[in-house]
Amino acid sequence: TAGCGFGKDFRKGLLKKGACYGDDACFVARHRSADVLGVADGVGGWRDYGVDPSQFSGTLMRTCERLVKEGRFVPSNPIGILTTSYCELLQNKVPLLGSSTACIVVLDRTSHRLHTANLGDSGFLVVRGGEVVHRSDEQQHYFNTPFQLSIAPPEAEGVVLSDSPDAADSTSFDVQLGDIILTATDGLFDNMPDYMILQELKKLKNSNYESIQQAARSIAEQAHELAYDPNYMSPFAQFACDNGLNVRGGKPDDITVLLSIVAEYT
């Protein structure tokens, strides 16, 4: 697995340290029973209330990562990882406010099955033989308002949109050697349709880390460029038009891409 991304303020030179691109966060964790990865997209609207949206997504992903490394998870239950992590955040002694989407992907090494949980509009693709064989479903309450985990201040509870981890869409299916798994935040999917992603993945000639890293960077860079193209009919603009809005162009957003290839474990 290799990752790449851009914060939408990248042009201003604002880059956070660690596995964070703008308000997005991600993790890759290995345990003897499974490989686990996740992405989360902090909801930017919190900035209007003086809250840094990256704190919530970053803490959520770091907590998931720690749970996996400690072996406190069941590979077939990625929603469990999300639930335990979110409960820890709710019980946190340090006040934490914010909201985030989340997508967790678990590859069970014993059964060779992929178990996924997706809450909101981040997501994943599984590509086999140059075609998408599995794809996560977006979860939206209404246009541009994805399902999300939230912690609100007491006075705003019940007003702030908040979904349960149990609402995440979960799937399980067998994977094969050579399968490509792409996990990403909506900054990728809002700007690049599947056929463009597949064109980039065709350039992937082998499963060494450098090759995967190069492909992840190429996809993230292309999505970042398209996000700022005012004449491009992006998937987001198309979705907006379907909802009666007259929109063109890319969607400037944070972009996080994790690219994985299923290989023999050595």
| Tens of pLDDT, residues 13-46 | 344 445 678 999 999 999 999 999 999 999 999 9
Q: Could you tell me what percent of the chain has a pLDDT over 90?
A: 86
Condensed to tens digits (0 to 9), the pLDDT of residues 212-260 reads 999 999 999 999 999 999 999 999 999 999 999 999 999 999 999 999 9
93 burial via Cβ count (<10 Å: 0-12, 13-18, 19+): exposed
Is the per-residue pLDDT at 10 higher than 60?
no
Least confident of 1-10, 32-41, 128-137: 1-10
Question: Within 13 Å of residue 33, how many CA atoms lie on the same side as its CB?
Answer: 12
Cα 34 to its chain centre, rounded Å, is: 19
Task: Identify the pLDDT of residue 266.
Answer: 63
At 120, the pLDDT band (50, 70, 90 cuts) reads very high
Task: Identify the pLDDT of residue 154.
Answer: 82
Condensed to tens digits (0 to 9), the pLDDT of residues 42-67 reads 999 999 889 999 999 999 999 999 99
Q: Which two tokens stand for residue 242?
A: 């379907």
Rounded-to-10 torsion of CA 198, 79, 4, 114:
-40
The whole-chain average pLDDT of the chain stands at 93
Per-residue pLDDT averaged across 122-141, rounded?
A: 97
C-alpha distance from residue 127 to each of 4, 152, 175, 182, 195 (Å): 19, 38, 10, 8, 11
Question: Domains in the chain, start-ordered, CATH in brackets?
Answer: 2-184+207-213+253-262 (3.60.40.10)
Task: Identify the pLDDT of residue 158.
Answer: 78
Is the per-residue pLDDT at 211 higher than 90?
yes
Least confident of 100-114, 142-156, 162-176, 181-195: 142-156
pTM of the model: 0.94
Per-residue pLDDT averaged across 193-201, rounded?
A: 97
Task: Identify the pLDDT of residue 8.
Answer: 84
Tell me how far apart the alpha carbons of residues 24 and 42 are, in angstroms, rounded to a whole number: 6
Give one DSSP letter per residue of 141-186, joined into a string. EETTEE--EEE--GGGTTTS----GGGSEEEEEE--TT-EEEEE-H
Tell me how far apart the alpha carbons of residues 233 and 236 are, in angstroms, rounded to a whole number: 8
